[in-house]
Structure formats: structure tokens, C-alpha cells
Amino acid sequence: MAVSTENYTEKKIEPLGQSGPIPVLEPKGSYKKMLGIVVVSLIVLTTVIAGFMYYQWATTHEQTDDAYVDGHSSAVSSRVAGTITQAFVTDNQEVKKGELLATLDPTDFQIKVDQAKAAVVLAEKQLEQSRAAVSQFQTTASAQSTSAQGDIAASTAMINMAKSSVTQAQAGVVEQEHNIQSLKAKLSQAQLDFQRYSQLYSKGAVSQEELDQARTTYTVAQAAELGGEQNLKQMQQKVLQAKDNLEQTYGQMTKSKSTLQTAQASHNEVVVKERDVDVSTAQLEQAQANLKEANQNLAYTKIYSPISGRIGRKNLEPGQRVDVGAAVCSVFEEDPWISANYKETQLGRMKPGQEVEIKIDTFPGRTFKGTVDSIPPASGAKYALLPAENATGNFTKVVQRMTVKIVFDQASIADFRSRIAPGMSTDVTVNLTK
């Protein structure tokens, strides 16, 4: 094929190793200039087209590399202090919710449970004893009241008989004999009560006041019985001294009233004993609550996973001492999302439901899909420990960033779900047109 040399000039060059010059054709000046213009024009046209396309793309997309993978995690800690005896998990292991992670030495906690059980039994016995004491005091007080009322009735009868006439003195003697029998029975009863209270006092079952009260009752019964004998002899010997017997009967009436007052005091003592029952009941409830707490602490010696996920930051070794609230491991759920920190100037057209293109640095060349889930109610500055006070002092405007939550399209991460971990750096692009 023939080549036209109209636009070319001939130039000879002498290459190394050759014996003579070699003719070379070069473009003439006008042709070379035209070729340069064409190349520059193509470059400018390409740049303009690329810039226009990028401008169109930039107006419909918002991009940021200030984003990272986020996810739910739960810090597992011990609710009691103890020593780890067994650990059942390793780093990065998958676990289910409620799965046993480790156990603590339960010896000390089992001792607490046994002590609490013993305290409950003791409190139950004390409550039974308090109730028995109430029942006993109620019976004694009722008997004393009945006896005192009987003494008053007898004294009243004696007064009426003494007032009637001398001729009825013999009938008074008979009544007095019956009264003496009653007094002897009371004396016998009072003696038995005093002996019983003395035995109970030696065992610490009754108070000194109760023993003194029984002793007083016994002494009064002895005096009453002796007085009755004397009255009987006087009535037999001196029927004509009816008036004197009337005065003595008044004295007996006073003693009977005193006995009735003593019985009423015994009723008041019953009220006190009933309060002791209330105290014993409260002590039993407290002991039962302590037992429940001890059983709960014993159950806390087994540490379970609060959620399903993978183990991270494991700090579980047999023989290790853990304190209350000390983190022993973390469980990360396999349900990641993206936390993208966009500038506030990029959020004007962004809304939930828009499509997102996600690139994770860990997987170069792989693009994942997602969706804008939500836009935060405030910027990070509002959550700072010391929020900015723009109303005071000098003001410098700083563009704030808002953390946008982006959720993965589950189908796009199906093969990578177990490999995507919180903290991975990402680039995200939101399509504002969809």
C-alpha cells in the first residue's frame, strides 16, 4: 500500500550500530497542530461528560466513609462474688439464650441456704410458743375473772345475811363453811399455779413479774382460807356479833374486787402476749425472705447467656475470682446494622426506606445492599457531657454529624452474616431518588 508523503517531511537519523543514516518521515507543522487540537478536544469533551455525569450522580446520592458496622451486645457479669469452677465456652463460640456459660463455687452459698432454713424453723417454733402463751394467759385470766366474780357474789350474800337478823346467823355459818371449801380449793389451785410458775421460771419460760404474781395469788389464797376459818369460829361462838361479821364481809368484798382487778390485769397481759405473736410472725416472714434470698444467690452461681450470639472478650478461667458486676464476657448478636455519621447538610433529602449501597473494608470488591432505617432525633453534640453553649461567648459554626441507622438487606449478606462483625469500617452511599 502506498503512503502519501504530502504532509510529511523526510529526516535522516543515524542509529547506533548502523553504517549509515536511515530516512524517517515526520508530520509537517500544520498537521501536527491539528492533531494536538483533536486530542485536547477529546480530553476536554471526556472531562465535561464525566463531570456532568458525576454532577448528576452527586445530586442524587449522598456518600460517607464515616460509618461502621454496629450491633447488639450484652455484657455478661456475675451477680454474686465467687470463684469460677468451670467455664463451658471459648472465644468466638456461638451460644443460645439461656445456655450455661460458667459456674461458681457454690459451697459458701449452700451454707447460707442451710443457715436460712434453720432460722425459718426457729422462727416457726417461736411463733408456736408465742401462740401457746397467749392461749395459756387467756385461760388463766378467764379463770381468775370467774373466781373473783364468784368471791364478790359470795361476799354480797354474806352481807345480806348479816343484815337480816341474828336468827339467820346459823345460815350464815353454813354459808361460811361452803365458802371455806371454796377458799381451800382456791388455795390448792394457787399453790399448784405457784409451783408450776416456779418451775417455768427456773427454765426461763416466764418472767419474774409472772412468778411474783403467782406467789401473790398463792399468799392471798392462804390468807383468805385462814380468814374463812376464823370467821366460821367467830360465827359459831358469837352469833350476836352479826355486825362485826358484816364489817368483815365488807373486807372480803374488797379482797374479791382486788382479785377481779388482778384478773383484768391478766387480760391486759394477754394483749401484750398477742403483740409478741405479731413480732414472732414478722420474724418468721423475715427468715423466709432471707431463705429466698439465699436460694436466689445460690442460683446465681450459674452464669447463663442472656441472648443468642457469639462470645467475645471472654474472661472466664477456672480458679478466677470474680466480683459482683464484673464483666466476664460479652455476647454479640448476629444482627448487624450500619451507623453512618452524615453531615447535617447531607440529610435534607434523606428519609427512611431509601436504598443504600454498602462497601465494607474487610471485603474489598464486594458490595452489599441496605435501606435507611431511621434518622436520629439529635446530633452527637446534644449527647456530649458538656454540650456547646452557642448563646454565650464567641460563636464558631461547625457542621454537625448525625448518626443514620442503615439496615442490611438480609439476602445480600446471607453468605457473610457470621463474618460481619461490629466495628468494621464501611463506605455507604444513599440513593436519594428511591
Per-residue pLDDT of 349-361, as tens digits, reads 899 999 999 999 9
Listed residues 275, 296, 317: the one ending a domain: 296
Residues 227 and 359 in one domain: no
Residue 281 lies in a domain: yes
Q: Domain containing 429 — which CATH number? A: 2.40.50.100
Q: State the chain's mean pLDDT as an integer.
A: 80
**18 has pLDDT over 70:** no
**Same domain flag for 121 and 229:** yes
208 and 285 housed in the same domain: yes
Same domain, 255 and 365: no
In a domain, 426, yes or no: yes
- Residue at 76: amino acid letter: V
Same domain, 267 and 385: no
Q: Is the pLDDT of residue 1 over 50?
A: no
Single pTM value for the model: 0.55
Within this chain, do residues 127 and 276 fall inside the same structural domain, yes or no?
A: yes
Same domain, 82 and 196: no
- Contacts of 156-161 with C-beta under 8 Å, sequence gap 24+, read 156/253, 158/245, 158/249, 158/252, 159/246, 159/249, 159/250, 159/253
In a domain, 42, yes or no: no
Average pLDDT rounded to a whole number, residues 123-141: 78
pLDDT band at 179 (very low <50, low <70, confident <90, very high): confident
Q: In this predicted model, which residue has the larger pLDDT, 238 or 388?
A: 388
Whether residues 377 and 289 fall in one domain: no
Q: Report if residue 43 sits inside a domain.
A: no
> 281, 296, 311: which is the final residue of a domain?
296
Q: Same domain for 118 and 263?
A: yes
Residues 207 and 308 in one domain: no
Q: Rounded mean pLDDT of 236-265?
A: 67
Nearest to 306 by CA among 337, 329, 335: 329
Tell me, what's the pLDDT at 59?
A: 80
Q: Are residues 262 and 163 in the same domain?
A: yes
Asked if the structure places residue 355 within a domain, the reply is yes
Question: Does residue 361 fall inside a structural domain?
Answer: yes
Task: Report d(CA 63, CA 266) in Å as an integer.
Answer: 91
Domain count, the chain: 3
Question: How do residues 69-90 score in pLDDT, each as one tens digit?
Answer: 998 888 999 999 999 999 999 9
Are residues 310 and 215 both part of a single domain?
no
SS3 343: strand
51 domain residue, yes or no: no
Question: What is the torsion angle, in degrees rounded to the nearest 10, for the CA atoms of residue 411, residue 416, residue 422 and residue 427?
Answer: -70
Domain that holds residue 8: 1-35
> Does residue 344 register a pLDDT over 50?
yes
Q: Percent of the chain at pLDDT above 70?
A: 74
pLDDT digits (tens, 9 = 90+) for 94-104: 899 999 999 99
Is residue 182 within 8 Å of 150, Cβ to Cβ?
yes
- Which of 182, 148, 144, 142 is CA-nearest to residue 253? 148
Helix (H, G, I), strand (E, B) or coil at 48: helix
Question: Is 197 or 259 the better-scoring residue by pLDDT?
Answer: 197
pLDDT tier at 105, thresholds 50, 70, 90: very high
Return the pLDDT at 183.
77
Do residues 19 and 5 touch, judged by C-beta distance below 8 A? no
Q: Is residue 197 part of a domain?
A: yes
